[in-house]
Amino acid sequence: METKGTKLIKSKKFIGVYYNIIADGKPKKDKSYFITYKLQGKTHKLFIGKESAGVNEPFCAQQRNDIINKARFGEDAPIVKYKNKSGVLFSDMIDKYVQSKTNSKKVTLAYEAIKDIFGNSRLDEITIDTVNKFKNKLTNDSKSPKTVTTYLQRINTIFNFAIDREFFKGQNPCKKIDKPKIDNERVRYLAHGEAVQLKETIKDKPMLLLFVELSLNTGGRLETIASITKKDINLITRAIQLKNHKTNNTYAGFISDSLLPLLKARYSELQTPNDKVITTSPKTIQKQLQPILNSLFNQGLNTKDAKNRVVIHTLRHTFASLLAINGVPIFTIMKLLDHKDIKDTLRYAKLSPDNGLEAVRGLWK
């Protein structure tokens, strides 16, 4: 067991494996091994055993894998047994892939989730069945087709990297996995009258109202709006520096005529450059605003009807949709949303009033 005052040492080879050295054990020097793992947002710590009893790091890694696989994929999930033979670990391959990239911090954040799931497995132990079960689990957890596809693409990238660099001579299991169909139909957005109704409803909640105004005028995500500070705002150029927390980069937003008075008033209240414009945490904003959205716009809709329900992210879609309706070029909208792929922005193109009629009418004059 872990003795009082001792510090756990993290394994250099295996994710979630720790040990401490027992100076007064029998034999004189022994090791106690522990594993940590996260399920449903909660971190668990479990004592596995002592080195003197035959426990070692690979055994602990396998125990951790078994627990996570059973919890995520069910009791019938294939349990990967540790074999004392050479083989490249998925986590090691992610590390090598990250090291090959210029922006390693950004890449590390993107691959953290799959590293935790498949990290202690060798590449030759990750099969088509394993990846399919993972895909089905994400779908059953109501992850969007786009999110599921992103996870599959990242697993695919690691295998391709390993094969191209000749770290792995097997087959890429993702090649035979059917990607979910991404429904790129127009998403729900607030009409002008609905936006006015929302703002009227929360007019006595100044911080919530400011959040909604910033969201509708910049298209920033929840975390983006919540992280805006005084130094990010330039009232002279009417620009706001926004942070994309998904990609860890910054981009420019702008202050509309309707937002300017409200933002000026809040700006004058801020004391230091690092003071946040929105002092309410993202979690609290979600807790306060979503019930209001439900009451105003989601009556009678199934809670799983993601396409038609209004949620906080709908404010971002409203920003983009109204820009398209007002004739703003799709590439400008792409820039304002900080999209990296034009395919993500094209869903708004059908809202544009420029359907090509005028261009075609004068083609042969």
Of 85, 95, 125, 73, nearest in space to 14 by CA: 95
Q: Which two tokens stand for residue 33?
A: 């091994």
pTM of the model: 0.58
Q: What is the largest CA-CA distance in the chain?
A: 97
- Taking a C-beta distance cutoff of 8 angstroms, is the pair 47, 41 a contact? no
In whole angstroms, what is the distance from residue 219 CA to residue 316 CA? Answer: 4
Neighbours of 30 (CB within 10 A): 17
Q: Which amino acid is at 55?
A: V
DSSP state of 89: B
pLDDT at 22: 77
pLDDT at 74: 62
Of 137, 224, 219, 152, nearest in space to 182 by CA: 152
pLDDT tens for the 365 residues of the chain, in order: 444 446 789 888 888 899 988 765 455 577 888 999 887 778 888 888 888 777 788 888 888 887 887 776 665 444 444 443 446 788 888 888 888 876 656 566 667 777 777 767 888 888 888 888 888 888 777 777 778 888 888 899 999 998 988 888 888 988 888 877 765 454 789 999 999 999 999 999 999 999 999 999 999 999 999 999 999 999 999 999 999 988 888 999 999 998 999 999 999 999 999 999 999 999 999 999 999 999 999 999 988 787 889 999 999 999 999 999 988 999 999 999 999 888 889 888 888 776 565 556 555 65
Q: Are strands 42-50 and 17-22 parallel, antiparallel or unpaired?
A: unpaired
pLDDT at 24: 54
Residue 232, CA distances (Å) to 281, 283, 286, 319, 338 in order: 18, 22, 23, 20, 16
pLDDT at 264: 95
Query: For the chain, how many helices (H) and strands (E)?
Result: 14, 7
Count of alpha carbons within 13 angstroms of residue 142, beta-carbon side = 5
